[in-house]
Amino acid sequence: MECRSWGERQGFTIKLAPVRMRYKNVDLNLIDTPGHVDFSYEVSRSLQACEGAILVVDASQGIQAQTLSNVYLAMEQDLTIIPVLNKVDLPAADIPRVSRQVINLLGCDESEIIHISAKTGQNVDKVLDAVVDKIPAPTGEVDGPTRALIFDSYYDDYRGVILYVRVVDGRIKKGESIRMMATGANGLALEVGHLNPAMQPDPSLETGEIGYIVTNLKTTREARVGDTVTLGRYFN
């Protein structure tokens, strides 16, 4: 989850970062996706794991080309989109012009656009309120066969291959055998949990939740982004 490169200094995310937070007695599973066009595949996989998206536009710069591509991906997934103008506290902010761009892109009303400053915290609570009020809760079959979408994976020198997943149906418990549907690789869920933002182990990952699985796999080629994780016992 560390973002230590030139992209960080330029002010955009170059590595997606999932996190779970509790707001007004509601658990929010959030994914901060890369904004650069070179990471469109990662963004598309992340959007498949979500019910909605927050479109954050710089009020001083307006909608950029990479933003357009990501918005179209969200529209293809039929996601609820919450429009947000950031950096409204800057002298260079042109709220009327950028608002018109957002309205033309989404077809929303001006009253739906939330004006915030991530620097000062202005109206950030309104964004969270909109997430709770407008984005539908996850759906899935709690007692159905386990299916989890891998939207990111990486190799940790000390822990092995770690998967970031969205559980679509069923559940994955610590210690269970798992199988990657596309690659056919088998492994163990050595640890499961959520990020808050550090790793927080849980007994299981349930339907609708986003979290991580620490596996005994040797390489990320065995667990590719976009693959489906299920339970090994279904194949015994």
**Beta strands 80-86 and 114-115: pairing type?**
parallel
What does the pLDDT profile of the chain (236 residues) look like in tens digits?
Answer: 222 222 333 344 445 788 999 999 999 999 887 654 455 677 787 888 899 999 999 999 998 887 888 888 899 889 999 999 999 999 999 999 999 999 999 999 999 999 999 999 999 999 999 999 999 988 899 999 999 999 989 999 989 999 999 999 999 999 999 999 999 999 999 999 999 889 999 999 999 999 999 999 999 999 998 899 999 998 87
User: For residues 83 and 57, what is the distance between their CA atoms, to the nearest angstrom?
Assistant: 8
Q: What is the predicted pLDDT for the residue at 95?
A: 95
pTM for the predicted model, two decimal places: 0.84
- Look up residue 71 and give its DSSP letter: H
User: For residues 208 and 221, what is the distance between their CA atoms, to the nearest angstrom?
Assistant: 25
| Closest among 190, 202, 193, 187 to 232, alpha carbons compared | 187
- Tell me if the domain spanning 6-134 has CATH number 3.30.56.10: no
| Closest among 31, 56, 55 to 45, alpha carbons compared | 31
Q: What is the CATH number of domain 147-235?
A: 2.40.30.10
Domain coordinates in residue numbering, the chain = 6-134, 147-235
Q: What is the predicted pLDDT for the residue at 44?
A: 80
Q: What is the predicted pLDDT for the residue at 35?
A: 53
Is the dihedral angle over the CA atoms 156, 165, 151, 82 positive or is it negative? negative
